Amino acid sequence: MRRPATLAAAFVLSAFAVTGCATGDEQPEQATDRDLEVEDLTPAASPEPFDAGAEEAPTRCSDLSPAPDGRYPVGEAGTVTVTVADDGEALVLEDVEAAEGWEHEVAQEDDVAIDVRFTPDDAESARVALVAVLGNDAAGTDMQPEILVQYCDAVP
């Protein structure tokens, strides 16, 4: 009889070891990776905002109203005259007049876009530009082609 009692005691001890202190309907807790402490991933300080050249102001452009004669002022730098070719399918750079103390360069000139940039002789003023784009495709219609023109300052 000693053997069944020993077996019964061993069974009770092993059951207690497996289930821990659980009683009744309680289930023993099992450790999972979800129970691990997770470090706070929030940075201690906000990162500094990206500064891509604090010394240069960003380029700002504003739309210019259509000019019946095609002559557009470019701030104090001068004027640019842009028209549409007779067939209505291309822009034409008619004339560029730089004011005293300014030089100009034609950065782009093709059928659909013209970009004229003005650089001051002094280092005090920022570069400026006039950008013209052939707006709608009026070829083959009775519509007059539209020239979209912008004046831009603080041009790099």
> How many Å apart are CA 52 and CA 58, to the nearest integer?
10
**pLDDT tens digits, residue range 43-88?**
444 334 434 344 444 578 999 999 999 999 999 999 999 999 988 8
Burial class of 74 by CB neighbour count within 10 A (0 to 12, 13 to 18, 19+): buried
**pLDDT tens digits, residue range 92-103?**
999 999 999 999
Residue 105 pLDDT grade (very low, low, confident, very high; cuts 50, 70, 90): very high
Q: What is the mean pLDDT of the chain?
A: 73
Choose the weakest-confidence range: 25-39, 68-82, 93-107, 125-139: 25-39
First to last CA, the chain: 101
Statement: residue 142 has pLDDT above 60: yes
Q: Quick check: helix, strand or coil at residue 60?
A: strand
Instruction: Please tell me the pTM assigned to this model.
Output: 0.59
